[in-house]
């Protein structure tokens, strides 16, 4: 249980960092990267679920969360304008 939670947090932090680097070229700091990655994980999982694509591996979770983080950062940038 604890190991799964730690793994999910690590995937979220990495996905948020990767999404931030891809979208804006810079990381946002550990806490913000973690929040972006967790939000991106939910968003990416939902988006890929809608189109019927999915997987259960750690790599797939990282890809899904990173794509979701990029979409989340894009939505936030539209709102900030």
Range of the domain at 45: 2-80
**How many domains does the chain divide into?**
1
Separation CA 40–CA 14 (nearest Å): 11
Q: Max alpha carbon distance in the chain (Å)?
A: 41
- HSE-up of 66 (CA within 13 Å, CB side)? 17
pLDDT at 27: 67
Per residue in 12-63, pLDDT (tens digit) is 889 988 988 888 776 677 788 888 888 888 888 888 888 888 777 889 989 9
């Amino acid at each position: 249980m604890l190991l799964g939670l730690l793994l999910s947090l690590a995937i979220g932090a990495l996905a948020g960092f990767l999404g931030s680097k891809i979208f804006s070229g810079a990381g946002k700091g550990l806490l913000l990267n973690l929040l972006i990655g967790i939000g991106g994980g939910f968003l990416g999982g939902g988006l890929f679920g809608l189109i019927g694509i999915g997987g259960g591996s750690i790599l797939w979770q990282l890809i899904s969360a990173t794509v979701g983080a990029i979409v989340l950062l894009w939505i936030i940038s539209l709102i900030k304008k």
